[in-house]
Structure 1
Amino acid sequence: MSEQLSTLYAKLLGETASITWQELQPFFARGAVLWVEGAQDLVAMAAGLAENDQAQVQRWLQAGVLGKLDDATAADLAERQPSLWAVVVAPWVLVQERASA
């Protein structure tokens, strides 16, 4: 990891926060939520977006580990109210379900 990327990673890590579905709904309504699959590194994906690493982002999209939050997943989140973790890389909010402890 380059020094510039590690600095960005640290900055984004410091900007991650817990978020509820109610807080996330307005962003979902605007189509601005990207879902990060559970085993992935939320902050690394945010850094890839922030760095405009198009090749890596394309690989994540094709692998299905990153993508726009779909209606079915949104309905599931609304029903279950799980613990969510988020970071903003404008115009996107990247969200991931927090692992159970």
Structure 2
Amino acid sequence: MQTNPDKDTELHDKINRETARIAWSELVRHFAQGNVIFVSAELDLIDVAVRISHDDKASIASWMAAGLVAKASDLQAQTWTESEAFLWSAVVHPFVLVQPEKTSLH
């Protein structure tokens, strides 16, 4: 069955409600299992989560090719550990999508 992530407002709302700011230290075990996915601040975390849920291969491949979505790297993990970072996260089982907090220009 073909699904349309653009029209799945129910899933979008569910993921939005479950998205949380979390300390990187709480995600290290998921990183060790290879389940943490980095999402660039250029993208909407919830939109990415919905598209992964819908297995939107075209969007995911495009983002990966552009370096906007990727498995979290060892360097990112080290940086987040050293800075005691907090990240926005959304779960699309078995993955935990993480996105750095957007810095304000104020």
TM value normalised by structure 2: 0.88
Whole-Å separation in 1 of the counterparts to 2:26 and 2:72: 15
Quick one: percent identity of the two aligned structures? 35
Alignment of 1:1-101 (within 5 A): 1-2=6-7, 5-101=8-104
Moved over 2 A (4+): none
How far apart are residue 83 of structure 1 and its match?
2.3
More helix by share: 1
Whole-Å separation in 2 of the counterparts to 1:79 and 1:38: 20
How far apart are residue 82 of structure 1 and its match?
2.3
Unaligned runs of 5+ in 2: 1-5
How far apart are residue 77 of structure 1 and its match?
0.5
Report SS of the residue matched to 1:95. Answer: strand
RMSD: 1.0
Report SS of the residue matched to 2:13. Answer: helix
In the comparison of the two structures, how many residue pairs are matched?
99
User: 1:44-101 CA distances to partner (integer Å, 9 max, x unpaired)?
Assistant: 0000000111111111111110000000111110111222110100110000111134
TM value normalised by structure 1: 0.92
Unaligned runs of 5+ in 1: none
Aligned partner letter, 2:48: M
Aligned partner letter, 1:71: D
